[in-house]
Structure 1
Amino acid sequence: MAFAAPVAVHAQDSGSDRNERSTRADRSARSSDRSDRRSSRQAQAETAPRYPNATREAPGISASQRLAKQLNTLSEANNEQDAAKGLPIADEILANERANEYDKSIAALLAGQLLLNDDNTRAIAYLQQAIDLGGLDNDNHFQAMLIIAQLQAQEQNYDAALVTLDRYLAESGSTDPKDQALKGNMLYRLERYPEAIAVLKPLVESGGEVDPQWTQLLMGAYAESGNTAEATRMAEQVAQATPDDKRSQINLAVSYLQTDQNDKAIEVFERLRSSGQLTEESEYRNLYALYLNSDNKEREAIAVINDGLEKNVLQADYRTMSALGQAYYFSDQIAPAIDAWQKAAPLAENGETYLNLARVLHQEGRSAEAKEAARQAIAKGLKSNTDAERIISSR
């Protein structure tokens, strides 16, 4: 968040020796004409208006001489981020009947800056006051408007943020892609996906420098609007262009999941795992869940879970050990299935896992262990104790 820097206010010089200045200027001109021209071009570039297409005519008002000292003190407080010092001065200027529109506008602007991210509600109020007073140059006027939109979005007040941003875009004539991307983001947050696509698509397809977040938003908008095929096409394009970028590969896997292309999602996850890029617990869980939901892929799920445990990416918690037990059991590896469920059962919220363990132990002829597991199941709580009691009473 940035504003054009307010210029410190100084009293104008009441008089000067024109002849002396002219003599000095002549000598300087003869020795540095080329440098002056370069400096002039540079100064023009540096002072070029940020909003050349603005519909608003800048008021051209300058600070009052009578308030120069207060405004400079306020500017110093702003530079030092000293709200305790600056806010009372700003309020004094705003209440001063002799202050002109610029004095009050710049005071409100600086007060808003002092409160940014500390008290955004008050910051917005001051910034809005600076805009309404109408005394600022266009750069500061429209930057204040943009900051209000950003703060409203930060507070998740997207409806108000979009109203403010639309006004900013219409009156400033801004052609900055970042401003359009901000609008696309707000439309996405408001679940106005077709409108978000209409704003974001030209940015992503412009051929210029594209922020990866814009692409993510556009893919998300396509997916949320039901156009998962286009979202997947974009994800494939990005992933192909950036094969070493983990984020783009994960996004591709997610796109495949959303379009029920589980085999392709598995391929992406496995490429990342083989290259050591699968480093998050959620990524391992997604991969082993994909295997468990596929036909005859239990052994692959076991390999993924054990790999995650060995690398300490997965923790030996209930969720992991329960899934491991399931994978072992349905691949006819009963002994390791029992071992996994024995670790999972004490961590479960109820006794259902103990009951499943008791059933398997009973089937394997391990009667004493089965009965103990059944007792633990009842102690932890079951929907029905019938099966557990039957195992306990069996001979």
Structure 2
Amino acid sequence: MMLRNHKQALLTMLIATAVSGTVITDAAAQARSADRSDQRERRGSSKAAAAEVLYPNATRKEPGMKSSAKLGKQLQKLVDSYNEQKFPETLTEATSILGNSAANEYDKALAAQLASQAAYQQDDVAGAKRYLQQVLDANALDNNGHFQSMLMLAQLQLQDDDKAVQAQGLTLIDKYFAESGSKKAEELVSKGQALYQLERYQEAIPVLKEAIAASPEPKDQWNQLLMAAYAEAGQTGEAVAAAEAVAAKNPNDKKAQLNLANMYMQADQMDKAAGVMDKLRASGQLTDEREYKQLYSIYANTENKEKEVISVINEGLEKGILKPDHQVYLALAQSYYYSEPQQVDKAIEAWQKAAPLSPTGETYLNLARVLHSEGKIPQAKEAARQAKAKGGLKNAADADKIINLK
């Protein structure tokens, strides 16, 4: 789960406390609602529903601390600035509270919590991490606020580029699961992805499986991550089985079918991969160059499928989906040349189109060899000269032999 792309998923803090008789609603309520104006109306209500207990199975005993009366107005100002998305003001108010000798541990934890959200909203990830650690060190919030802060810090550490910091994130998220009792699918995926990124594929697999099983509608990328973990762990059979299950569940989902074809390719089951891709082709779902190249490459790596390679490439060129580049013409030339019956003239024509597009003279040299074998000596000599002129030959002597033919 890419945390940067899901900012709202991180803003799930539930701050529910009384300050001077007014309920302070926290960032979490906003995160769960797309309509901020509606949230403001609810914040203005004189009555507020009790905060949802997010961690009924937590082993941590809530400290039961409350804000100090002396800082009531300052805390309210802090919350109001955050709710109004005045993040620089939120940080200023939080800094003031954190440095106030009259503030108790709860005041400081609440200030650090909102400061972490404000910092994150301004793309200050380092600052967000620093404030979140202060929340945990204070250990003063209720379970909702404490564990959501722990989870956010763990997730930010897990997406860090430094593997040592990622390791800290893994330790912290394990602590989170152990103490909070949470088994939420999205949170388990965070851990599974981190393990995958750390190349601990065998450890990632059971975590990802648990996440998928825990969700009534697991996201496509979770299944893709599980497939990738199986593949990287060398469990090709399990990767294929997972891809087949997803594809069977989503027969009209192009992405699921393409993933299945990729898994078949990795398992060297080219016939099955081709079958999946051909169904997509027949239904007009192959629409970009990469997909056509994938299909003709599958056929090119399968015995006696030259006819199919030719058909796919020509169709792709006619539709304007395949670009007429060196790779395409080279595959076409080879398929014509090795097809049954052999189609030498068409192969030569394709090689003639491929050779000028090649970065080296190797394709010209191959063309010269074919022309020579067909007894077309003048054309073979010209192709060999073109090969030398283009350069980059592995064996220039072969070109010289053709050029010097009598």
Is the structural similarity TM-score above 0.5?
Answer: yes
**C-alpha deviation, 1:123, in angstroms:** 1.1
CA contact (8 A) 2:260 2:273 kept: yes
Taking the aligned partners of 1:354 and 1:254, their CA distance within structure 2 comes to 33
**C-alpha deviation, 1:12, in angstroms:** 4.2
Q: Does 1:292 align with 2:273?
A: no
- Deviation readout 1:95-115 (Å, 9 max, x if unpaired): 222111122111111111112
Q: Does 1:391 align with 2:395?
A: no
CA contact (8 A) 1:6 1:75 kept: no
Q: Give the corresponding residue for 1:303.
A: 311
State the number of aligned residues: 366
Match of 2:363 among 343, 350, 353: 353
Q: Give the corresponding residue for 1:201.
A: 209
Q: Give the corresponding residue for 1:373.
A: 383
Q: Does 1:192 align with 2:171?
A: no
Structure 1 residues 310 and 78: CA distance shift in structure 2, 3 A: farther
Taking the aligned partners of 2:214 and 2:185, their CA distance within structure 1 comes to 10
Taking the aligned partners of 2:136 and 2:118, their CA distance within structure 1 comes to 16
CA contact (8 A) 2:186 2:211 kept: no
Q: Greater Rg, structure 1 or structure 2?
A: 1
The one-letter amino acid paired with 1:356 is N
- 1:66-77 matched pairs, under 5 angstroms: 66-77=70-81
The one-letter amino acid paired with 2:390 is K
- 1:55-94 matched pairs, under 5 angstroms: 55-94=59-98
Q: Does 1:264 align with 2:272?
A: yes
Q: Give the corresponding residue for 2:102.
A: 98
CA contact (8 A) 1:9 1:72 kept: no
The one-letter amino acid paired with 1:129 is Q
Q: Which runs of 5+ in 2 are unaligned?
A: 1-9, 23-46
Structure 1 residues 372 and 137: CA distance shift in structure 2, 3 A: same
Q: Give the corresponding residue for 2:261.
A: 253
Q: Does 1:145 align with 2:150?
A: yes
Q: Give the corresponding residue for 2:13.
A: 4
- Deviation readout 1:263-312 (Å, 9 max, x if unpaired): 11111111111111223433222221121122221111011112222233
Taking the aligned partners of 1:275 and 1:291, their CA distance within structure 2 comes to 19
Structure 1 residues 167 and 63: CA distance shift in structure 2, 3 A: same
Taking the aligned partners of 1:221 and 1:143, their CA distance within structure 2 comes to 28
- Deviation readout 1:229-278 (Å, 9 max, x if unpaired): 23322322322222111222222222222322211111111111111122
**C-alpha deviation, 1:202, in angstroms:** 4.1
- Deviation readout 1:43-68 (Å, 9 max, x if unpaired): 99862311112222222222233333
The one-letter amino acid paired with 2:131 is Y
Q: Does 1:315 align with 2:323?
A: yes
CA contact (8 A) 2:313 2:332 kept: yes
**C-alpha deviation, 1:7, in angstroms:** 5.4
Match of 2:129 among 104, 111, 124: 124
SS in 2 for 1:277: coil
Q: Does 1:279 align with 2:287?
A: yes
Taking the aligned partners of 1:209 and 1:191, their CA distance within structure 2 comes to 26
What TM-score results when the alignment is normalised by the length of structure 2? Answer: 0.81
Taking the aligned partners of 1:394 and 1:374, their CA distance within structure 2 comes to 11
The one-letter amino acid paired with 1:383 is K
- Deviation readout 1:326-362 (Å, 9 max, x if unpaired): 1122222222222222222222221111111222233
Taking the aligned partners of 1:341 and 1:335, their CA distance within structure 2 comes to 10
Q: Which runs of 5+ in 1 are unaligned?
A: 14-42
Taking the aligned partners of 2:291 and 2:323, their CA distance within structure 1 comes to 13
SS in 2 for 1:48: coil
CA contact (8 A) 1:231 1:255 kept: yes
Question: Which range moves more in the overlay, 255-264 or 298-307?
Answer: 255-264
